């Protein structure tokens, strides 16, 4: 399998090169040159465990790592999860919660980033190289990425996050890590500001090469690849083709579902659930992709108005026309708005925006009815799914699977407000009182570049 860029100027990359490149050198996003068709294998995969299914899917996209080594890396990646089969499926009447928060940092990002860390360690070790990771987080990516590479000798990781806009526990999970290869940067501004700095730094080809920069954000193809597995797994455990409702900020999670559907896994429909940062809901309603102000909400990991992985979806929507895609992204960068002319077909994918009060209502209703506690991100998905089912829209005979993205204990304030219950978890309780390490910087690209250089020189 080879990889190419959505912008059309990079092609023919092997997986390991794509892994280390992260963001394509032409500022596009890397995608596989072909999408495997797995329909003939679904019957034999029906009863595989999560790890076994991952070990079947990964070689379809990774052919430059020895098969037995790859199989071992996959198994090692999920050994630290506290669920017998890595992910859980909790039935709440007609809706199913796909629990993806059983990893070491209690968020769905662990499913991809534990594997990404193992892949980095293996490839860098084989090549005798090192990597300096620069990432941006709206909450969960940072701690999951840090956990995946902490202590590695050939990796330093720099994670930027918006000051005051991640939950206190999310900040603790990042800043209390004592390993010397971990560097946390709080920036004045929004997540979109952090993400823009990251992309601008990567666009400086000379600087990127000199300081051996790599990416862990969902711009890295390996992140998306790992997430395909749980959509395949859940679809094969549903009686009929389900609708997946995905709480969405940067579009990487739902894009993985889109690829799983294209590969032939039995998926009926994809419902994109956003909070008040509704750029995606507006796009699917109007066909116009227009930047808005970033609103601070109960679901901070979704407080995003520019969804990086949306470029990958548009690339396929435009029938892999790189020229049209590039023009669209240039128009958006210049004007804060670009349009495809009309809304996408509802059958393909649809979207719902969920307000603060609706999020709290979902958390309250689920706790009262089932004794089950939702985190506010999963609650956005639950409300969107429930609302669409009640209106007989985007539903399927196979039911609806709501993607559970984080453990409720990561967001105690929101859970207490909605339910009166204080959620806890031993992993988070252990952070209490630990010293925090972080660097405060202005929202300035030169300041970030200078800090990275200074840290590596030390």
Q: Catalytic residues, which ones?
A: 109
Q: HSE, CB side, 13 Å, CA atoms: give it for residue 387.
A: 20
Here the tokens at position 322 are 């790189």
Q: What value, to the nearest 5°, has the Cα angle with vertex 252 and ends 206 and 338?
A: 75
Q: Are 134 and 161 in contact (CB under 8 A)?
A: no
- Nearest alpha carbon to residue 364 among 354, 376, 353, 355: 376
Give bridge partners of residue 134 from the DSSP assignment. 158
Strand locations in 302-438 (E): 337-339, 350-353, 400-404
- Nearest alpha carbon to residue 179 among 198, 200, 193, 158: 158
Alpha carbon dihedral 437, 441, 443, 447, in 10-degree steps, equals -120
Distances (CA, A) of 447 to 14, 256, 453, 454: 34, 34, 10, 10
- Nearest alpha carbon to residue 406 among 253, 292, 301, 324: 301
DSSP 295: P
Q: What value, to the nearest 5°, has the Cα angle with vertex 71 and ends 120 and 57?
A: 90
Element (H, E) at 121: helix 109-127
Q: How far apart are CA 300 and CA 362, in angstroms?
A: 17
Strand locations in 56-122 (E): 88-92, 95-99
Q: How far apart are CA 216 and CA 136, in angstroms?
A: 9
Maximum Cα interatomic distance, the chain, rounded to a whole number of Å: 60
């Amino acid at each position: 399998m080879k990889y190419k860029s959505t912008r059309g100027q990079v092609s023919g990359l092997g997986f390991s090169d794509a892994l280390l490149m992260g963001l394509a050198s032409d500022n596009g996003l890397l995608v596989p040159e072909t999408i495997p068709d797995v329909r003939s294998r679904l019957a034999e995969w029906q009863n595989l465990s999560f790890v076994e299914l991952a070990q079947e899917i990964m070689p379809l996209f990774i052919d430059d790592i020895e098969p037995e080594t790859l199989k071992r890396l996959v198994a090692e990646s999920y050994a630290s999860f506290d669920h017998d089969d890595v992910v859980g499926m909790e039935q709440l009447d007609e809706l199913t919660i796909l629990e993806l928060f059983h990893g070491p940092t209690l968020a769905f990002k662990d499913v991809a980033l534990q594997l990404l860390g193992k892949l980095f360690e293996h490839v860098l070790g084989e090549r005798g190289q090192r990597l300096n990771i620069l990432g941006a987080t709206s909450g969960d990516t940072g701690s999951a990425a840090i956990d995946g590479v902490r202590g590695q000798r050939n990796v330093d990781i720099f994670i930027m996050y918006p000051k005051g806009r991640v939950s206190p526990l999310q900040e603790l999970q990042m800043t209390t890590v004592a390993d010397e290869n971990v560097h946390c940067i709080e920036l004045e501004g929004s997540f979109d500001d952090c993400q823009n700095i990251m992309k601008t730094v990567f666009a400086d080809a000379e600087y990127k090469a000199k300081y051996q920069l790599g990416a862990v954000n969902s711009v890295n193809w390996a992140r998306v690849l790992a997430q395909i597995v749980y959509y395949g797994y859940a679809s094969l455990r549903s009686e009929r083709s389900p609708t997946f409702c995905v709480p969405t900020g940067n579009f990487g999670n739902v894009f993985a579902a889109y690829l799983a559907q294209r590969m032939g896994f039995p998926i009926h429909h994809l419902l994109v659930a956003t909070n008040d940062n509704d750029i995606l809901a507006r796009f699917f309603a109007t066909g116009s992709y227009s930047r808005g102000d970033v609103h601070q909400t109960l679901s901070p990991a979704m407080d995003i108005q520019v969804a990086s992985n949306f470029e990958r979806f548009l690339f396929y929507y435009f029938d892999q026309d790189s020229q049209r895609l590039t023009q669209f992204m240039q128009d958006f960068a210049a004007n804060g708005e670009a349009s495809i002319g009309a809304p996408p077909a509802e059958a393909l994918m649809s979207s719902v925006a969920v307000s603060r009060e609706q999020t709290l209502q979902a958390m309250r209703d689920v706790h009262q009815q089932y004794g089950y506690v939702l985190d506010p991100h999963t609650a956005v998905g639950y409300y969107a799914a429930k609302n669409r089912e009640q209106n007989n829209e985007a539903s399927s005979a196979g039911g609806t699977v709501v993607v559970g993205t984080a453990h409720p204990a990561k967001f105690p304030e929101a859970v207490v407000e909605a339910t009166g219950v204080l959620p806890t978890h031993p992993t988070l309780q252990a952070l209490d009182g630990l010293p925090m390490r972080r660097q405060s910087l202005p929202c300035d690209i030169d300041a970030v570049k200078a800090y990275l250089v200074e840290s590596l020189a030390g």
